[in-house]
Amino acid sequence: MKTPLNVLLFGGCLTHTPLRKHARGGARLAAAYHAIPQIHTFGEMFQIVDILRGEKVIPPEIRPLCRIWRDLGPVPNSRTFDDIDVALVEPSSPIEITFRGFSINRRGLRDFLVEPMREQYGREAGKVAAQWFRVGLVGLNEKMRAESAPRLLNYLKGDDPDTELRRAIVLEIEATTADIAAGLERIHTIVDRPLGVVIYVFRYMPDGRPITWDGGFQEQLVAAAREFGLPLFDPAPYVKAFGVEAAMIPESAHYTDAFGQVIADALTEFSQSVYDRTSVSETAP
């Protein structure tokens, strides 16, 4: 076995942040391909694999929307991923957002379009943008989207490249609901390495009960992982054991530094168990 364990991370901040901090200071785990960003959907995972294999090139103006930085590009071993010991996937949403054939990251879209509307055009414009994004697009509410899109376009009158791109996004962007089982099966086939699934928790109640959103998404993910015999990591028992107030930053979905090391250790143990193929269907303290 190689030391440290080389782990391919496809997930958000709840896997990336603790494991990358742990990898920088520890000896048992290293995050492969450090330019891989924090992502949310299977569509984004497939897109990253295409980039790593040189099968997809994202134009410079689109990269911020995908949160794909210019240092992410083809790597020699991505055809077989034979330099990878374990892959961890942590999908956090079933909503796939696409624009001109590219998988769009919701944070990238928020940073490029939603937040600038408030900053450049004022509070009311920001409110309209938030409704268009959260309720209309991500919420798949076509009525809200149809009502808010013309109001957004009324603000976007400039002819500079950013404004033109924002207009195109409002007019052309699409959102669909993914097939979670198909997505998990496909990423497992594509990566073809020992694969572990990390459950994403949106928020916690004060007593430690996890709160999920996008109704039924996590249940579908867990069911699919069990169907394919993939090991599951559930962070909720660790958060409850540590204490929600101590584990989570107030009014945030992010871990505190103190708990970050705890969850990094747990994820490292989970990664090792996936590599050893000795893990049971779920891991908890």
- Alpha carbon distances (Å) from 214 to 138, 211, 273: 10, 11, 30
CB-based contacts of 139, cutoff 8 Å, min separation 6: none
28: left (phi over 0), alpha (psi -120 to 50) or beta: alpha
> Domain 5-99+178-283 adopts which CATH fold?
Rossmann fold (3.40.50)
57 with 97: CB under 8 angstroms?
Answer: no
The side-by-side arrangement of strands in the sheet containing 86-89 is 29-31, 5-10, 86-89, 195-198, 232-233, 282-283
pLDDT of residue 35: 73
Q: Give the side-chain half-sphere CA count within 13 A for 159.
A: 0
- Other beta carbons within 10 angstroms of residue 27's beta carbon come to 9
pLDDT of residue 29: 63
Q: Among candidates 102, 88, 74, 66, which has minimal Cα distance to 10?
A: 88
pLDDT of residue 5: 85
Q: Give the side-chain half-sphere CA count within 13 A for 61.
A: 12
pLDDT of residue 281: 44
pLDDT of residue 22: 64
Q: Low-confidence residues of the chain, pLDDT below 50? A: 1, 25, 278-281
pLDDT of residue 278: 46
57-78 core/surface letters (b: 16 or more CB in 10 A; e: else): ebeeebbbbbbbeeebeebeeb
**What is residue 241's DSSP assignment?**
H
CA–CA distance, 15 with 38 (Å, rounded to integer):
9
- Alpha carbon distances (Å) from 238 to 21, 62, 76, 230, 250: 18, 38, 37, 20, 17
pLDDT of residue 26: 53
Sorted by where each begins, the domain ranges of the chain are 5-99+178-283, 105-172
pLDDT of residue 283: 53
pLDDT of residue 168: 97
Strand partners, 162: none
SS3 122: coil
Q: Is 140 exposed, middle or buried (0-12, 13-18, 19+ CB in 10 A)?
A: middle
